[in-house]
Structure 1
Amino acid sequence: MPLSKTLRSARRQTSGSSAQPRRRVCRTCNNLDPRGHTSSVYQTESKQGAISALTLVVDALALERTKTPQERGCRYCTVLVQALDEFYEGWRGCRARITVEIREKGSIRVGIEGEKWAGELIEIYARAASRAPWPTLGTAHPIPSNSGSDDTFDFARRCIQDCLTNSKHGACQPSPTSVPVGPKRLVDVGRVTSPIRLIDTQGKWFQYATLSHCWGTGPILTATKANWKKLTSNIPFDALPPLFQDAIIITRQLGLRYIWIDSLCIIQDSTRDWETESSKMGSIYEFSYITISATGAADGSARCLADRRKPIRIDYENTSHKEFALRARKTLDQHPDLNEGKPAKPTGALMRRAWALQEHVLSTRVLHYTATELLFECKTSHRCECSPARRIYPTTPALIPKAIAQQSKHSYGVWEAWQRIVEQYSQRDLTVANDKLPAISGIAHKIKDATGSSYLAGLWKENLASDLLWSSSALVTQVYASDTYRAPTFSWSSLDTAVTYYAPDEDERAVFTPTVKLRSSSIALSGLNALGTVTDGSVMLRGACLPAILSSQLKDNSWEYTLLIKGTSAIRVSHDCMLGANEDTTTSTQEPTVRRANLGFELKPFRAPVLCLSVARYDGWLSGLVLGKSNRVKDAYERLGTFSAGVEAFRKAEEKNLLLV
């Protein structure tokens, strides 16, 4: 719950501040007043005078012991306790910190640290129709109690209409030179005299919505070779899963006649149809009128249009024994972060699915149906039911267009955007492991169209040195190699692990120098998607190489890997996954080699030879790859991890051509 930039940079209160010392100020909650605390900050640029804000971190056990006002305890702490009891079951007795964010004339936001309640907040506010119980407490915009209410649909229509007609939304309009690639099939949502049915567009253009949703593990209606012709005649409304029923209702309410739903508009048991239509998915979402994102639904049995939890009443009595009724409601920490310049992070099951990321990134306009409110995003602005005014915030659909627009000014912008997307994507789940590259191919097509660069199974030829230096997230400790081939080892897509890239500052970026050259590359594709599934891949690189010994040891229940290079101190390796020494040698004189370990491989300490390849240099230090000899391809190497070291470590390195597979 960060403060705005103007508040963060504002001065602290001084003795000359207009706020006067008050008596009996609670040391725990500061009487829920943002003023007068040593941590208070003030926005002095406001036309209304100094606006204060305060963020407190409160110990849960200390707050739990709060006395009631009748026991001469703090009446403000009691407000917090009542709200916590209502929304955070089990908070009493937990050893967690509670964050309380107070902003003058605004609502109070309360959250508890820890995984159990991650992303959940309580919003405490005054009733709009009555006087606030204390001067600094503000009101909150009402949110309808059902996501299918007239008010919610009116909000959605206003957002869409503003995006379509506002001159500032030029980024949301299709380029005059772009040629829309429409879907082969659409669902006709029907009218009074016509049924719901599947239609073949026959190359014609129709205005349509798209649905972004979780399939889940339960039964779902799909188009197959056996039933698709029947679906072109009639799809009974009752035969649709509840989620699809809601999507049909939303489509009708928005004045549209057609919607694209992947499970119905792609023949699922036809490999050719799936490859053809899934390869167009990026364009299908980009050119849709609106994407209906079932963000909070875990599968087709859930609904978009549902009741929301109503706000609760909290009774408060001031020192004059006058009674007030406050309100508190559950909200989600899913709004844009203006301090960091980050877009909204809608919360729900869909945000954990890999396929859904490109649907979010590539859509022009999105309605996110979350558990607490409806969010709207386009390539220009963000709006939500709790803050319905139009705001020019950073958005996810604007990420790639913005990077492309700035490409002439900052050539690295597109590559950084790709790497940030890969970082998010690699944290998400896939039901089918081989969808790793197809599920991000729509975004890859946009990058390829903008840059003209060759695509190497998740990496880009024009940014190869930087792209090669991905590393497994430090949070991932037990990752194993797949038993079946999915991608070359130099690609992040070869593993099921969250990955990160080093983000250099401006000074480091200025001195970043690739130290490898691409001699040749080869990518063997499977299917019709040119940026999809691969069956093989390799790159021939020339760069400075140095032999080393890789040592492994078990420390605090985690395996650590260290490079031992003659004449230098030990270098810690960021390993891609669990590693093991392959001791299946044909003669006793052969040395063991290191390889990625599959699940079931017996992990044990080893010392074995590897090769270190310098990939890029940042002034006085360099980063590179740790390589082991491939058991699959003769005279080739496979990636094991990454390392960083001072340039002096490579003073005796030798230039070589290496084949990576």
Structure 2
Amino acid sequence: MPLPKSLRRPVRRTSSSSTSQHQRKKCRMCNNLDPRGHASSSYQSEAAKEPLASLSLVLDALSLSKTKQGTCRFCHVLTLVLDAFFEGWRGARVRVNVDLKEKATIKVSLDEERWKQETVEIYAGSATRAPWPTLGTAHHIPVNSGSDETFNFIRRCIQGCIANPKHTACKFTCKSSISAPRRLLDVGKSSSPVRLIDTQGKKFQYAALSHCWGSSPLFMTTKSNWAKLAANISFDALPPLFQDAIIITRQLGLRYIWIDSLCIIQDSLRDWELESSKMGSIYQNSYITISATNSGDSSARCLLERRKPVKIPYENTTGKEFALRARKILNHHPSHATHGGPAKPIGPLTSRAWALQEHVLSTRILHYTATELLFECKTSYRCECMPERRAYPTTPSLIPKAVASKKTGAVWQAWQRIVEQYSSRNLTVATDKLPAISGVASKIRKATHSDYLGGLWMNNLASDLLWHANPTAAPTSAHRTALDAWRAPAFSWASLDVPITYTILDDEENDTFIPTVTLITCSSTPSGYNPLGTITDASFTLRGPTIPATLCSEQHQGKWEYTLLITGTSTIVINHDCLLVDTDLEADDRQQKTVRRARSDDSLRPFKAPVLCFSLARYDSCVAGLVLGVSGRTNAAWERLGTFAAGTEALRGTEDKELVLV
């Protein structure tokens, strides 16, 4: 269809008044995809000669879909892009987010769950000049993740890390005996057989694979097939993902790779506990970690064809055609709003609990995502769409930077940020909750020399106890209940399957944070060979201020709320760990009314029942602590129900007591 005459008229440049008139004719909906001259435009100089404009537009999808071709050539570009990447957007009641920045690419996304984290990038073809002055170009991304271009990018990233004297955190020597995996896959050359070897304590340069196991049967080592796999493993018998991992290993000039399902004897509890307890060192000391971020299981390859960029036709006012491109990207870049990072790779692997410590502890890691390859080390970050080295914080740098700061508080904060992410991830085997983060715990213990008990550190106990369920990260929070089987003491976040967060204090509150409890004793009973892994029992005795209270349960708009009544104060809303019920316990030959965590088969009802408030710390003019109920599992002990925070006047009548928490 030919362009309307109104769009074919050349732009007049004879005077400033004509320019102003042209500016006023910008499309009211899309502002001609120009970040300048809009009421919401912002300008940041950033030491540049001219200030750069940026603009975020929120458009109505229904209105945009009704835009007729020829009305606005820029709106037409948007509709073509949406048609190409977001099937079903027409007729949907969604918001179209358009992020514009001068001399940069245009980012387009839809505000709906089915398109969550999906972003399309519009950019100018590099071979021609941009069709309008504010549109930027983008780096070429190979259409195959196994291409020579991508492998050359990987080699440059690795060598740039190894050779850079500033990458001190990335240097290691593998001198510790625990760093050597018990077994490795010897992949040799393409013509060589693949076989499982016993390292016998020797040191090897090896890659490691981080991957989703998935629900399908997995190729694994057992007691019965160990001898056969040590002789020869047919390459064709391996699942596609393992084949790709071997190809990557060979391409990088390595001979050995560690894959958990093959290098740990899976039906030997002793072998699994011993080797999984060394997981942190195994990933830290690997030459490179291959992260199959976009693979849901071992049948999904990581070396594959990517979707090619889509050509978008565009003509300017003179009828000249330009090369516009659009491609899907994943919004993994560090955010300046969060002080620059760290980067967040996107894919099925990022929802798995075991994979988090593999990400945190690796020295260098390759993320194979749906759209491109990302490289992280303990110092910098690069990706195929931004191949220049970036000094952003990275996930592998969290612990090294905290330790290097020589501030113990920084290490505790790093641990708590990791636990917050970890608690939102999924586990196939519920009892892996503590083992799957024990590698990180091992690094924290080495840095702080603190005792560890069920996910909490005794040298940071008051702060660690002030975790609470995060309702913003758990839409189904109204249906949370206690676990059917005991996994950890109630005072530990590991006792529940809910995303958690910690009490965040500002600098002034942090400076005045003073624990009000004293640790008397603590004990835990590991169930196996990993002292930081699964436990069968744990408790500690604390001394601190207590005050009796009444806990009230009421339902508001379908959600249960719990409030404290303390004599002489107003009501205090608590952060409950999960749904709660009142109960009667037999104690000292009499019934005692209390509150406990609800189980999945409990009937919920309003109640008023006695509880105990236990102050943990004071900061500024506040006091924070635990809400406790009498334990039905251990005599003369208490179990956690939630946390509270109130003004110091609320707990004036406290009495110091020694309490056993289980």
- The 1:308–1:623 alpha-carbon spacing in structure 2 relative to 1, beyond 3 Å, is same
Shift of 1:48: 4.7
Amino acid at match of 2:438: S
Report SS of the residue matched to 1:109: strand
Which residue of the partner structure matches residue 10 of structure 1? none
Q: Which residue of 2 aligns with 1:67?
A: 68
CA distance in 2, matches of 1:213, 1:428: 14
Q: Deviations over 1:266-289 (max 9, x none)?
A: 000001100000000000000000
Match in the other structure for 1:643: 644
Q: CA deviation at 1:554?
A: 1.9
Match of 1:439 among 436, 442, 449: 436
Q: After the TM superposition, which of the residue ranges 275-284 and 517-526 deviates more from structure 2? A: 517-526
Q: Could you tell me whether the CA contact under 8 Å between 2:178 and 2:278 is conserved in 1?
A: no
- Stretch of structure 1 that moved more, 468-477 or 241-250: 468-477
Partner Cα separation in structure 2 for residue 431 and residue 282 of structure 1: 20
CA shift at 1:364, angstroms?
0.3
Tell me how far apart the structure 2 counterparts of residues 111 and 503 of structure 1 sit (CA, whole Å).
31
Q: Check conservation: 2:174, 2:285, Cα contact below 8 A.
A: no
1:11 aligned partner: none
Equivalent pair of 1:579/1:595 in contact (CA under 8 Å):
yes
- CA shift, 1:477, in A, is 2.5
Report whether the alignment pairs 1:414 with 2:411. yes
State the 1:67 CA deviation. Answer: 2.2
Equivalence for 1:3: none
Residue in 1 aligned with 2:579?
578
Partner of 2:214: 216
More displaced 10-residue stretch of structure 1: 236-245 or 168-177: 168-177
Q: Structure 1: which 4+ aligned runs deviate by more than 4 Å?
A: 175-180, 584-589
Give 1:462's aligned residue: 459
Counterpart-to-counterpart distance in 2, 1:634 and 1:251: 56
CA RMSD of aligned residues (A): 1.7
Once residues 27 and 346 of structure 1 are traced to their aligned partners in structure 2, the CA distance between those partners, rounded to angstroms, is 36
CA distance 1:586–1:389, change in 2 (3 Å): closer
Q: Which letter maps to 2:459? A: E
Q: How does 1:416-565 map to 2 (within 5 A)?
A: 416-474=413-471, 475=474, 476-565=477-566
- Cross-structure match for 2:603: 602
Q: For residue 84 of structure 1, what is the amino acid of its counterpart?
A: L
CA distance in 2, matches of 1:227, 1:320: 72
Encode CA deviations 1:506-535: one digit per residue, 9 max, x unaligned.
Answer: 101011111111111111111111111111
Residue 33 of structure 2 corresponds to: 32
Q: Give the aligned residue type for 2:132.
A: W
Q: Deviations over 1:76-119 (max 9, x none)?
A: 11111111111111222222222211111111011112322111
Secondary structure in structure 2 of the residue aligned to 1:488? coil
Partner of residue 76, structure 1: 74
Counterpart of 2:370 in structure 1 is 371
Aligned residues of 1:591 and 1:608 also touching (Cα < 8 A) = no
Q: Distance in 1 between matches of 2:220 and 2:513?
A: 50
Q: CA deviation at 1:180?
A: 6.3
- Secondary structure of residue in 2 paired with 1:339: helix
What is the deviation of 1:131? 2.1
Cα displacement string for residues 191-235 of structure 1 (whole angstroms, at most 9, x for unaligned residues): 255310000000000000000000000011000000011000010
Hey, what's the Cα distance between the residues in 2 that align with 1:370 and 1:107?
Answer: 20
Relative to structure 1, is the Cα distance of residues 177 and 405 closer, same or farther in structure 2, using a 3 angstrom cutoff? farther
CA distance in 2, matches of 1:188, 1:587: 64
The change in CA–CA distance for 1:509 and 1:586 in structure 2 (over 3 A counts) is closer
Aligned to 1:162: 160
Summarize the Cα distance change of 1:40–1:175 in structure 2 as closer, same or farther, 3 Å threshold: farther
Bigger CA drift: 481-490 or 374-383? 481-490
Q: Say whether residues 1:391 and 2:393 are aligned partners.
A: no
CA–CA distance in structure 2, aligned partners of residues 153 and 281 of structure 1? 27
Q: Judge which range, 327-336 or 97-106, deviates more.
A: 97-106
In 2: Cα distance, 1:149 partner to 1:638 partner: 56
TM-superposition CA deviations, 1:342-393 (whole Å, max 9, x none): 2111000000000000000000000000000000000111100111111111
Give me the whole-angstrom Cα distance separating, in 2, the residues matched to 1:142 and 1:194: 35
User: What is the letter of the counterpart of residue 92 of structure 1?
Assistant: R
Task: Select the structure that is richer in helix.
Answer: 2
Query: Following the alignment from structure 2 to structure 1, what is the Cα–Cα distance between the partners of residues 132 and 653?
Result: 72
**Matches of residues 82-161 of structure 1 in structure 2 within 5 Å?**
82-161=80-159
SS in 2 for 1:78: helix
Give the equivalent residue in structure 2 for 1:12: none
Residues 176, 256 of structure 1: alpha-carbon distance in 2 compared, 3 angstrom cutoff: closer
Alignment partner, residue 322 of structure 1 = 320
Which residue number in structure 2 is paired with residue 285 of structure 1?
283
Q: Percent identity?
A: 62
Q: Which residue of 2 aligns with 1:7?
A: none
Cα 1:584–1:414 change in 2 (3 A) is: closer
SS of equivalent to 2:223: coil
Go from structure 1 to structure 2 and tell me whether the alpha carbon gap of 1:217 and 1:569 turns closer, same or farther (over 3 Å shift). Answer: same
Q: Could you tell me how far apart the structure 2 residues matched to 1:179 and 1:106 are?
A: 50
TM-score of the superposed pair, with normalisation by structure 2: 0.94
1:39 shift after superposition: 2.0
Q: Report the Cα distance in structure 2 between the residues aligned to 1:586 and 1:260, rounded to whole angstroms.
A: 54
Counterpart contact for 2:57–2:99, Cα < 8 Å:
yes
Unaligned runs of at least 5 residues, structure 1: 1-15
Q: Give yes or no for contact 1:180–1:287 (8 Å, CA) kept in 2.
A: no
One-letter amino acid of the structure 2 residue matched with residue 301 of structure 1 = S
Residue equivalent to 1:331: 329
Q: C-alpha offsets along residues 320-363 of structure 1, whole Å, 9 cap, x if unaligned?
A: 12222311000011111133122111000000000000000000
Q: Is the 1:486–1:494 Cα contact (8 Å) retained in structure 2?
A: yes
How far, CA to CA, are the matches of 2:159 and 2:214 in structure 1?
33
Answer whether contact 1:526 1:533 (CA < 8 A) is retained. yes
What code does the residue aligned with 2:534 have? Answer: T
Q: Secondary structure at the match of 1:440?
A: helix
Letter in 2 for 1:457: G
Alpha-carbon offset, residue 560 of structure 1:
1.1
Which one-letter code corresponds to 1:95 in the other structure? R
Structure 2 vs 1, CA of residues 316 and 580 (structure 1 numbering), >3 Å: closer, same or farther?
Answer: same
2:228 matched to which residue of 1?
A: 230
Distance in 1 between the 2:236 and 2:213 partners? 18
Letter in 2 for 1:527: G
CA–CA separation in structure 1 for the residues paired with 2:587 and 2:355: 48
Aligned-partner Cα distance in 1 for 2:47–2:139: 21
What is the aligned length?
A: 639
Structure 1 range deviating more: 468-477 or 281-290: 468-477
Amino acid corresponding to residue 209 of structure 1 in structure 2: A
Q: Secondary structure, in 3 states, of the residue corresponding to 2:257?
A: strand
Mapped to 2, the partners of 1:231 and 1:175 lie a distance apart of 30
Q: What are the within-5 Å matches in structure 2 for residues 616-655 of structure 1?
A: 616-655=617-656
SS of the residue 2:536 aligns to? strand
Tell me the distance in 1 between the aligned counterparts of 2:587 and 2:49.
82
CA contact (8 A) 1:338 1:393 kept: no
CA contact (8 A) 1:481 1:599 kept: yes
2:214–2:298: 8 Å Cα contact kept in structure 1? yes
> In structure 2, which of residues 221, 246, 256 is the aligned counterpart of residue 258 of structure 1?
256
| Comparing 342-351 and 614-623, the one that deviates more | 614-623
Partner of 1:43: 44
Query: Could you report, residue by residue, the CA deviation over 1:411-433 in whole angstroms, capped at 9, with x for unpaired residues?
Result: 31000100000000000000111
